[in-house]
Amino acid sequence: MQKIRQSRTDTCGGLRIEDAGREVVLAGFYENMRKVSKNLGFLVLRDFYGVTQVVIETEEMMERLQGVNTESTLQVTGVVRERSSKNPDLPTGDIEVVPNDILILGKCRYNELPFEINRSKEADENARLKYRYLDLRNPAVKDNMVLRSKVVSDLRAAMASHDFLEITTPILTCSSPEGARDYLVPSRLHEGKFYALPQAPQQFKQILMASGFDRYFQIAPCFRDEDARADRSPGEFYQLDMEMAFATQEDVFDVIEDVLPGVFEKYGKYKKASTAPFRRIAYLDALETYGTDKPDLRIDLKLEEATDIFKGVGFEPFDTADVIKAVTVHGFEGSRKVIDKIVSDAEVVSGGKSYWIKCGDDGAALAGGVSKFLADKQADIIEKFALKPGDTVFISAGSRAQALKTGGVLIKTIAQAVPGHMDREAYEFCWIVDFPMYEIGEESGKLEFCHNPFSMPQGGLEALHNVDPLKILAYQYDLVCNGVELSSGAVRNHDPEIMIEAFKLVGLGEEDVKAKFPAMYNAFCYGAPPHAGIAPGVDRMIMLIAGEESIREIIPFPMNKNAEDLMMGAPSPVEPSQLSEVHIALELSENTEETGD
């Protein structure tokens, strides 16, 4: 029996012309072979580092590969020589290896693969997720995982350089009202009680500040039972979680503005990133100007107030609207077909209708769209929007919320359809600041926290006692890049007295606060430092850096849109004995498959 040499002298991506004449041992996956004759073939061997051409020149070596399927793992021992026909597109394109021994290390038992490895990104997503171990062999998919590792490593190093200490916080904890559904874990030792997987390390990191740790961070796993989106993975995600004691909003901004641009510039698909200080936009101003609290500052289009000029023209959608907004596109050369598609696409996303008008060729009259309703106001409209021949005005109308939402979607839709309005080769960061502390809940109709209940209200106790709650602002901030929200953060409410008053306004008394947040509340009662933090999403950052449209492209083992792990078969049934151990009896609906045997 021939002895298998498990070591390798070189990788499939490392050999160069200066290695010619050396005997080497390579190991990797059998990618393909072009067979010329019974004693001549060109085999491509692939490993993590690259590919090398192996030239089969004897019947003996060809027989070694008889019946061996592609994607089997091979060990090739042979001599490096210069290629007569070089491949300038490959790092190893100047050389080839002539084998004197080929061993089969791991045989692929299937004649057909579910998809072509190097084109797996074109395959059905469910097939890719089911056979993720094959998908990850694709160098294009693998490169995203390598990128992820390098980005996380650099983030860790950058945080350490700012004197942050990496501390891991518990995975099994108590259920806490964080805004999404918990994943619950039943307790075997404590009948009828449950742990919860943390939606975020929020309370733990604040308790660390009260414990005297000055600067904390971790690449934190977070678990939320929520639906998938293109930029959100169901189940679990990771964030660069950080907190600073004796810190203000400005201190947090300084750290993030130093850490992130360098990482984006170093690894990003685009080599230009915002430098400090990032632009700051008040929450309400962002809505009025961009129609969203996640503005994409690569786009040069903005919303303009147009209620007064379009109101009362005899066109019902305008006359009955609370708010009318306009987006002016100067020098627009689009056809009626292009305009109609912009309006149609915006309606699909926003759920609201939009309208348009053009400035005529003479520059003195309006044409197209709803221009027939605006005959008496043509001159005023042309003057207000500084229109010239060919300029187009897109219009949204309705309630304030609907007009702003539709206008925001119009901005993005126009920028995608009309060249020249988006810098597609940059990362544009901004801070959204001055969020409202409270809002009226859409479902409850009652006063609720707008975002994080642990945020410090601007004005402190005095504001809580004397200001209309809907006008109180919080020291809360969002980090946005290219229209994607990377993170929310806040200056925390570290004072129990202020905390109690803040919760009273939403109908929760001191006992409720103690019951919901006992550890943190009690820790603050022993004297806590002012502190602030943020937690940019690692997955979203890497998605932007890689230039991918779906977050699943940068996660090693993602779930599908239905929160299923198709490769491992999760969620899965469990044995009745396992349920009994944790004191659970299932009551399933008729349409649900029985769990266990």
Find the mean pLDDT for residues 13-39.
96
Helices (H), 139-232: 139-161, 202-210
Report the alpha-carbon angle 498-499-502, nearest 5: 85
Q: How far is CA 37 from the centre of its chain?
A: 50
User: Tokens standing for 571?
Assistant: 């969620």
Q: Do domains 17-106 and 140-277+534-578 have the same CATH topology?
A: no
Tell the CATH topology of 140-277+534-578: BirA Bifunctional Protein; domain 2 (3.30.930)
Residue 49 pLDDT greater than 70, yes or no = yes
Quick one: pLDDT band at residue 579, thresholds 50, 70, 90? very high
SS3 44: strand
Find the mean pLDDT for residues 430-451.
92
Residue type, 196: A
SS3 551: helix
Quick one: pLDDT band at residue 5, thresholds 50, 70, 90? low
DSSP state, 561?
T
**Long-range contacts, stretch 283-287, CB < 8 angstroms, 24+ apart:** 283/432, 283/433, 283/434, 283/435, 283/436, 284/434, 284/436, 286/432, 287/404
Per-residue pLDDT tens digits for 243-263: 999 999 999 999 999 999 999
User: Which string of b and e fits 144-155 if b means at least 16 CB within 10 Å?
Assistant: beebbeebbeeb
Q: What is the pLDDT of residue 142?
A: 97
User: Tokens standing for 280?
Assistant: 């700051």
Handedness of CA 122, 125, 130, 136 (dihedral sign): positive
Residue type, 434: D
Quick one: pLDDT band at residue 591, thresholds 50, 70, 90? low
Q: Which CATH superfamily is domain 17-106 in?
A: Nucleic acid-binding proteins (2.40.50.140)
- On whether the CB atoms of residues 258 and 162 are closer than 8 A, the answer is yes
Residue 3 pLDDT greater than 60, yes or no = no
Residue 593 pLDDT greater than 90, yes or no = no
- On whether the CB atoms of residues 354 and 343 are closer than 8 A, the answer is yes
- Cα–Cα distance measured from residue 406 to residue 372, given in angstroms and rounded to the nearest whole number: 22
Report the alpha-carbon angle 360-363-365, nearest 5: 55
- Cα–Cα distance measured from residue 180 to residue 223, given in angstroms and rounded to the nearest whole number: 9
Concatenated DSSP letters of 498-529: HHHHHHHTTT--HHHHHHHSHHHHHHHTTT--
Residues contacting residue 299 through CB under 8 Å, at least 6 positions apart:
411, 412, 415, 421, 422
Q: What is the pLDDT of residue 179?
A: 66
Q: What is the pLDDT of residue 178?
A: 61
Per-residue pLDDT tens digits for 386-404: 999 989 999 999 999 999 9
Classify domain 299-417 by CATH architecture.
2-Layer Sandwich (3.30)
**Mean of pLDDT over the chain:** 93
Quick one: pLDDT band at residue 595, thresholds 50, 70, 90? very low
Find the mean pLDDT for residues 124-152.
97
Find the mean pLDDT for residues 83-95.
95
Residues above pLDDT 70, as percent of the chain: 97
- Cα–Cα distance measured from residue 386 to residue 383, given in angstroms and rounded to the nearest whole number: 5
Q: Which residues pair with 195 in a beta bridge?
A: 185
- On whether the CB atoms of residues 547 and 154 are closer than 8 A, the answer is no
Q: How many CB atoms lie within 10 A of CB 88?
A: 7
Residues above pLDDT 90, as percent of the chain: 87
Q: What is the pLDDT of residue 594?
A: 45
Per-residue pLDDT tens digits for 262-301: 999 999 999 899 999 999 999 999 999 999 999 999 999 9
Quick one: pLDDT band at residue 335, thresholds 50, 70, 90? confident
Domain positions in the chain are 17-106, 140-277+534-578, 299-417, 429-532
- Cα–Cα distance measured from residue 295 to residue 481, given in angstroms and rounded to the nearest whole number: 8
CA distances from 460 to 281, 284, 507, 529 (A): 22, 21, 18, 15
Residues contacting residue 98 through CB under 8 Å, at least 6 positions apart:
54, 55, 57, 78, 79, 81
